[in-house]
């Protein structure tokens, strides 16, 4: 079968014209337009960087990248955490989620962390994010990306969704389920093959999504909300998945665009107008972005709300989508490989931070978790039940041998005061981000040695260890970048 035939089969009962199927097929086999998401709390002096870029209409912090500028990951502002490289399609679920300060939110399938970083930024100093990733090998990039936000209001966990639901039932105001899927929109990036269009791949992923969604439903308090999203085109993993979730969970409802508008649930008028264009023709309240229409890889998202029986139901009419009995059965049967594979192990932590912390700067903290090799600290007590679950959080120190060192996350942390700071030029920033040692003779007044936070235009980059007039570079290898400077 041709790719167009496979696409049409995957999309049914949604049908595209022959010409549009060809356009979609061509778009899927090429890299999508690159896009970035601006840091919400970026200093106003840095906003000029984005003024010449084209805005992503469905997310007020998103921009398409201008390829004449070179690589988006080669700018000093990127190194300093001023923006994240993120496909425009993955900004759609963030728009529907609308995380607010003070909320307790879970990103259930969080790695590599692009959406988690946006949630952490939106909390703006109050509330909490639990970023969960069931695959342990994917935790490192998630935690590095969260550190880049400078936030101190998050923790990471390495739990199976069902076990997390057992531990924290009805705990969260909102849940993001960016579900594992057949990943059809990743073909152009070389991360998926045409086999993602096959019935076997779609059926396997739909069964896994069902299990994850059922666990997610148990995590949300009455009146709370859930955003479900994928990076696939397959109807069985998108609109059908939402429809059968509503059948299994009558206390949930799909939020229509009308309800978003009348209740002020999602963004401003321009955002709502953009969403109106993206509505799925199959199910009101579901949204699709397409590679050939919307300058992105493509994806799907829907906002669902758990009824609070003291509130009036939302206006959420939706049409039945035909699903044959064989397909319905295959999508709801248990995933045997997923049973009893929880990574939850109750943990105990020491609560006293290393004494060396005082020599690095001033940190206000209310709760700490100190293990054999790492130390984490939060400005307030963690929500009940989190401490024994966590894998990590805002790291302040790590241990090598018998000695504690300041962590990269501490250098980037927004709300703390380092004892020593040095402002780097553009050229020095380029050298620092590549891991070079810097000569800082005459730049700071210091006798002997000490730890110093390197900054570019008042935005933190990482640590230098000052010995005499030499700044020894302590930026971790995964955080190093090859920058271009003007």
d(CA 355, CA 47): 39
Listed range (53-57, 129-133, 261-265) with the worst mean pLDDT: 261-265
Question: Tell me, what's the pLDDT at 193?
Answer: 66
Question: Tell me, what's the pLDDT at 116?
Answer: 97
Count Cβ atoms within 10 A of the Cβ of residue 53 and give its class: 0-12 exposed, 13-18 middle, 19 or more buried: middle
Task: Give tens-digit pLDDT for 92-151.
Answer: 999 999 999 999 999 999 999 999 999 999 998 899 999 999 999 999 999 999 999 999
Task: Give tens-digit pLDDT for 213-232.
Answer: 999 999 999 999 999 999 99
d(CA 34, CA 9): 28
Question: Tell me, what's the pLDDT at 403?
Answer: 95
Question: Tell me, what's the pLDDT at 1?
Answer: 80
Q: What is the mean pLDDT of residues 366-386?
A: 96
- Residue 334 pLDDT > 70: no
CA distances from 67 to 26, 33, 35 (A): 21, 9, 10
Listed range (71-85, 273-287, 328-342) with the worst mean pLDDT: 328-342
pLDDT mean across residues, the chain: 90
d(CA 271, CA 60): 8
d(CA 456, CA 76): 8
Non-local CB neighbours of 423 within 8 Å, separated by 6+ positions: 455, 456, 457, 458
- Token pair of 219 as six digits: 């995590």
Measured torsion, CA atoms of residues 133, 138, 144, 150, in degrees rounded to the nearest 10? -10
122: left (phi over 0), alpha (psi -120 to 50) or beta: alpha
- Token pair of 303 as six digits: 């906002």
- From the centroid of its chain, how far is CA 75? 21
CB 76, CB 483: distance < 8 Å:
yes
Domains along the sequence of the chain with CATH: 3-338 (3.40.50.150), 357-412 (no CATH), 420-479 (3.10.450.720)
| Residues known to be catalytic | 231
């Amino acid at each position: 079968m041709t790719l167009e035939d496979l696409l049409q089969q995957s999309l049914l009962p949604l049908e595209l014209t022959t010409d549009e199927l060809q356009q979609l097929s061509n778009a899927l086999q090429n890299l999508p337009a690159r896009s970035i998401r601006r840091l919400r709390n970026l200093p106003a002096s840095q906003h000029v960087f984005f003024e010449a870029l084209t805005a992503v209409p469905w997310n007020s912090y998103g921009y398409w990248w201008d390829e004449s500028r070179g690589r988006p990951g080669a700018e000093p502002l990127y190194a300093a955490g001023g923006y994240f490289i993120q496909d425009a399609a993955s900004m759609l679920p963030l728009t529907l989620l609308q995380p607010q300060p003070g909320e307790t939110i879970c990103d259930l399938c969080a790695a590599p962390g692009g959406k988690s970083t946006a949630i952490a930024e939106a909390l703006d100093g109050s509330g909490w994010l639990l970023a969960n990733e069931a695959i342990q090998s994917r935790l490192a990039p998630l935690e590095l990306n969260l550190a880049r936000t400078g936030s101190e209001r998050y923790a990471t966990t390495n739990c199976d969704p069902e076990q997390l639901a057992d531990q924290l039932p009805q705990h969260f105001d909102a849940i993001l389920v960016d579900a594992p899927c057949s990943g059809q929109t990743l073909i152009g990036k070389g991360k998926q093959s045409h086999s993602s269009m096959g019935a076997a791949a779609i059926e396997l992923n739909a069964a896994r999504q069902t299990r994850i969604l059922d666990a997610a439903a148990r995590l949300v308090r009455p009146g709370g909300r859930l955003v479900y999203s994928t990076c696939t085109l397959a109807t069985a993993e998108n609109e059908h998945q939402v429809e059968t979730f509503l059948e299994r969970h009558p206390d949930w409802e799909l939020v229509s665009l009308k309800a978003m508008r009348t209740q002020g649930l999602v963004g401003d008028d321009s955002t709502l107008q953009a969403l109106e264009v993206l509505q799925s023709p199959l199910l009101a309240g579901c949204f699709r972005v397409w590679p050939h229409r919307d300058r992105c890889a493509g994806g799907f998202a829907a906002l669902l709300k758990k009824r609070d029986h003291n509130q009036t139901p939302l206006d959420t009419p939706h049409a039945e989508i035909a699903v044959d009995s064989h397909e319905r059965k295959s999508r709801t049967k248990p995933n045997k490989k997923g049973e009893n594979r929880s990574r939850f192990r109750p943990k105990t932590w020491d609560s006293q931070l290393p004494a060396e912390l005082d020599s690095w700067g001033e940190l206000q903290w209310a709760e700490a978790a100190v293990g054999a090799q790492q130390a984490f600290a939060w400005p307030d007590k963690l929500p009940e039940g989190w401490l024994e679950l966590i894998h990590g959080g805002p790291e302040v120190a790590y241990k090598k041998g018998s000695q504690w060192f300041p962590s990269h996350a501490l250098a980037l942390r927004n709300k703390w005061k380092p004892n020593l700071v040095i402002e780097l030029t553009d050229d020095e920033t380029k050298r620092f981000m590549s891991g070079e040692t810097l000569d800082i003779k005459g730049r700071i007044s210091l006798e002997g040695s000490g730890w110093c936070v390197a900054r570019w235009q008042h935005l933190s980059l990482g640590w230098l260890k000052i010995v005499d007039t030499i700044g020894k570079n302590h930026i971790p290898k995964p955080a190093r970048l090859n920058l271009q400077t003007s």
